[in-house]
Amino acid sequence: MKSIYCIGELLIDFVAEGQGNDLSKANTFIKKPGGAPANVACAISKLGGNSRFIGSVGRDPFGTFLLHVLKENNVDISLAQRCKTFTTLAFVSLAEDGERDFVFSRGADKKLKYDSSVKKGFKGHMVHLGAATALLGGGLEEAYSRYFFDALTQDSFISFDPNFRGDLWRDDESTFVKKCMPFIEKSHLCKFSLEEARLLSGQTDLEACCDFLHDVGAKVITITLGGKGTLLSTQGLKKTIPSISVTPLDTTGAGDAFIGCLLYQISTLDKALAVLDDFELLTKMVEKANVAGAITTTGFGAIPSLPTYSQVFD
Ligand code: ATP
């Protein structure tokens, strides 16, 4: 089985209690571990895969808590870093329909330092670039770009999820789009939400979104569509693969569970890259990844709601 290196932020989600979608009125917050790449790492390991997290937290109690959670979930944290800056915090509110809203207080995640000794481990393995904060500058952006280059030169299987957060890119969405393009061009698998696919392509029609992104160079595209499932698209074939029926409580982490489950399945193949030319196999894998995403919506918080292997595959 291949290792999957998940690179990006690990942070605290402070989830507002009982205040609908309005953070300004929230008085009480519950502390939960978060950060998309960390969620993906947990999703992979909870299914039985080998995930390794690369990111930075503060030398404070929140950093201690977060690394403990990853360790508890069997994520390899030997490449995680700690720095003097406070751990990154995200304040989250949940609407009644399970949708969410974010405010970020950015700290240690941007201090990640590139480590040139890591790249030899990439050879023949997989790298997932899924940070919401990675393209905002700082050490993380430099490390992210250099690890991306390393993954390309080490023939790793590369997956990219832009994790667009409107809060972080107010009035500067065009910079976000521009910075994503090299990752879309060179990665083997891209995971987008519908909002991201439209933003990145400048198209509204789903087929046109995919055509545009394939023209940029995207190989396999998955566009997650919430309760409607996932659109899978390769250069030649497209198909919407339905999800299962659930009653969602909190959609936080559904996309991370989805991509984590897809990557886990690819990591079990002898030749990960062979999946790029096998639409039937990809379809089966996306069906299972949809189940993982759906199950994650049925509980509160991302990591505690991630499914085990038997919940998805038995
Ligand atoms: P994120 O918001 O974490 O970036 P996302 O928007 O990509 O993620 P969703 O589309 O909400 O994630 O969910 C990912 C996948 O989980 C979907 O493609 C679908 O398969 C499954 N899923 C999500 N919500 C539901 C639901 N209400 N019912 C069934 N399946 C769901």
Percent of the chain exceeding pLDDT 90 equals 83
Distance 234 CA to ligand 1 centre (A): 20
**CA-based end-to-end distance of the chain:** 20
Q: Where exactly are the structural domains of the chain? A: 3-9+36-60+74-80+115-313
What does the alpha-carbon distance between residue 291 and residue 297 come to, in Å, rounded to a whole number?
10
- Say which residue the tokens 């559904």 belong to: 254
Q: 234 near 219, Cβ under 8 Å?
A: yes
In testing the pocket of ligand 1, which one of 96, 251, 261 has its CB within 8 Å of the most ligand atoms?
251
Going by CA atoms, what residue is nearest to atom 4 of ligand 1?
255
Q: Is 21's pLDDT higher than 70?
A: no
Q: Is 99's pLDDT higher than 70?
A: no
- Please tell me the number of Cα atoms within 13 Å of 113 on its side-chain side: 7
Distance 269 CA to ligand 1 centre (A): 25
Q: Does domain 3-9+36-60+74-80+115-313 have CATH number 3.40.1190.20?
A: yes
Q: What is the pLDDT of residues 183-241, one digit of tens each?
A: 999 999 999 999 999 999 999 999 999 999 999 999 999 999 999 999 999 999 999 99
**Average pLDDT in the chain:** 94
Going by CA atoms, what residue is nearest to atom 5 of ligand 1?
255
Q: Is 57's pLDDT higher than 70?
A: yes
Going by CA atoms, what residue is nearest to atom 26 of ligand 1?
227
Instruction: Name all residues whose Cβ lies below 6 A of ligand 1.
Output: 193, 224-227, 229-230, 243-244, 246, 248, 251, 253-256, 258, 290, 293-294, 297
Going by CA atoms, what residue is nearest to atom 16 of ligand 1?
293
Distance 201 CA to ligand 1 centre (A): 20
Q: Which of 96-110, 157-171, 229-243 has the lowest mean pLDDT?
A: 96-110
Tell which atom from ligand 1 comes closest to the C-alpha of 225.
10
Q: Is 311's pLDDT higher than 70?
A: yes
Distance 251 CA to ligand 1 centre (A): 7
Q: Which is nearest to 135 in space by CA: 164, 104, 92?
A: 164
In testing the pocket of ligand 1, which one of 96, 160, 199, 243 has its CB within 8 Å of the most ligand atoms?
243
Confidence label for 100 from pLDDT (cuts 50, 70 and 90)? low
Q: What is the pLDDT of residues 245-297, one digit of tens each?
A: 999 998 889 999 999 999 999 999 999 999 999 999 999 999 999 999 999 99
Q: Identity (one letter) of the amino acid at 253? A: G
Tell which atom from ligand 1 comes closest to the C-alpha of 252.
3
Going by CA atoms, what residue is nearest to atom 27 of ligand 1?
227
Distances (CA, A) of 237 to 282, 289, 307: 11, 19, 29
Q: Is 85's pLDDT higher than 70?
A: yes
Task: State how far Cα 262 lies from the chain centre.
Answer: 11
Q: Where are the beta strands (DSSP E) in the chain?
A: 3-7, 11-16, 29-34, 50-54, 56-58, 81-83, 89-94, 100-105, 126-129, 157-160, 189-193, 220-224, 230-233, 238-241
Q: What is the mean pLDDT of residues 73-93?
A: 95
pLDDT at 173: 95
